Structure 1
């Protein structure tokens, strides 16, 4: 079954991110979906031809993580934004967990923004380490490297240049502020309880 690009056009008109920027970003995301499907097909073809041990197969297999993560990270990123944003509910277990792990929501926000301001291209991610029961802000340099094995992404911020240059040039901090105004902190009550209720 092929992956299908999700439609995020409901984000058009979002404050702080122009429609031109978003449409370009959606096109980039759709490219990751297309390339993920192409790689799945090509790898399957090579396997059927008995070429799984070839350098060609190996290089395509290595490339798969880049394309698939590029697809999925963009889905998480766009999926946690909404026009006007939705503030975090201070009665959720997620909010209480942020306060417990970072000392305050403000401390977490300052640290997450600092992570996003690091020089280079990549992603800032709020991860939940289910095993240790703690939240961590993490920098991912490339789509396919730097992820925390077994941890669940809670919030993803794209800080590759394509996410902000059209609107903000090199003013990444202004883009980060616009992103924060668009975050949708809505969390399903069952997920909130299952992930953060007992920790």
Structure 2
């Protein structure tokens, strides 16, 4: 059997000392991320073994459910990597005027403030999920979306530019379940606009 690819946890040790998001909150959240990596590897190994043994069958409920579960775990891993990757201590308040990201936001929304208001509105909607700024690979336009489950609702082929985890586990050590708006405020004090700009095509 061919070697099964293994995913490794990325090092997010730089994501410490954030404004309004405690290191304790981050430590718990990074443990959750590590669980996604571990489960992604376990499911990949199990499904690869089933495939190599000729047991891959859509009619097999075990194979089907493991495959569906892999999508959830894998996207949970990847979205957390985007999330931690677009945060840093000592961040600028907003993307630099005249920069590539600022220009893309203004081209898509008219004004930066219009984009920010739209993203904040989405990020504070009731429910659990992710607020994500995407780029359409065909037009270059940016748009904000809400994704409830990790693997459901992504616009096909779009590239995540800014990712905010809106599940309660992202903030409930620091804020109450009813205080997501305070967490969103804290999140925006820690956005690495440079990391987001690098994701633009």
Bin for the TM-score computed over the shorter chain? over 0.9
Separation in structure 2 between the aligned mates of residue 63 and residue 24 of structure 1, nearest angstrom: 22
| Aligned CA distance change for structure 1 residues 190 and 30 (closer, same or farther; 3 Å) | closer
Separation in structure 1 between the aligned mates of residue 148 and residue 162 of structure 2, nearest angstrom: 16
Following superposition, the deviation at residue 104 of structure 1 comes to 0.7
Q: Are 1:17 and 2:21 an aligned pair?
A: yes
Match of 1:179 among 167, 184, 187: 187
Question: What is the TM-score when the length of structure 2 is the normalising length?
Answer: 0.91
| Secondary structure of the corresponding residue to residue 12 of structure 1 | coil
Match of 2:144 among 128, 137, 141: 137
Following superposition, the deviation at residue 188 of structure 1 comes to 8.6
More helix by share: 1
Q: Equivalences for 1:30-49 in 2 at 5 Å?
A: 30-49=34-53
The aligned counterpart of 2:135 is 128
Following superposition, the deviation at residue 92 of structure 1 comes to 1.7
Q: Equivalences for 1:31-110 in 2 at 5 Å?
A: 31-53=35-57, 54-86=60-92, 87-110=94-117
Following superposition, the deviation at residue 125 of structure 1 comes to 0.3
1:60-109 CA-to-partner distances (Å, cap 9, x unmatched) read 11111100000000000000100011341222222112112111111111
- When structure 1 is superposed on structure 2, of 85-94 and 13-22 the one drifting more is 85-94
Separation in structure 2 between the aligned mates of residue 20 and residue 11 of structure 1, nearest angstrom: 12
Q: Are 1:168 and 2:175 an aligned pair?
A: yes
| Aligned CA distance change for structure 1 residues 132 and 108 (closer, same or farther; 3 Å) | same
Following superposition, the deviation at residue 133 of structure 1 comes to 2.6
- Give ranges in structure 1 of 5+ residues lacking alignment: none
| Secondary structure of the corresponding residue to residue 118 of structure 1 | coil
Following superposition, the deviation at residue 9 of structure 1 comes to 2.1
- Give ranges in structure 2 of 5+ residues lacking alignment: none
RMSD over aligned Cα atoms: 1.6
